[in-house]
Amino acid sequence: MTEIKKLTKIVLLVDAIMWFLFGILLTFLYDMAMNPEGWTNPYLPRMFGGVNLISAIFAILMLRKKEWEEIKLTFMYFIGILLSTLIIELAVYATFYSTFGALWRTQGLFPITVEAVLLILGIVTYIKQRS
């Protein structure tokens, strides 16, 4: 059994905080904070906000575990959801860039940057935790 390293716990804490913030914004404050273009279908972002809130709860629960083997599968889920979300957001941003207003062009880069940093941190942490 391998003990969970301090870097892994720090990454889990940062993940939990970011997912909680994105979850609150997407689920409860979507029309006010996350919808500058006035899109009319808020259901998909709200559903993804719920996924973010559940992921934040799982990350907090994983902080209480002591062994790497107990959290490895869920940690890989976190990396997978970050990777898939990043691919989707990059595709949407590249496809609809010309239709976005100036505000959305700058606001759209923030979650992409945060998710890319979290993904890189997660992959580095996974590699360091395995060795």
pLDDT for position 110: 83
Encode pLDDT of 44-67 as tens digits. Answer: 777 888 899 999 999 999 999 999
State the Cα–Cα distance between residues 50 and 57, nearest whole angstrom: 11
Q: C-alpha distances in angstroms, 31 versus 36, 37, 73, 100?
A: 8, 10, 34, 17
Predicted confidence (pLDDT) at residue 114 exceeds the cutoff of 60: yes
Encode pLDDT of 2-36 as tens digits. Answer: 899 999 999 999 999 999 998 888 888 766 665 55
Looking at residue 105, its amino acid is: R
Of the candidate ranges 16-25, 31-40, 80-89, 111-120, the one whose mean pLDDT is the lowest: 31-40
pTM: 0.80
Query: What is the token pair recorded at 38?
Result: 């006035």
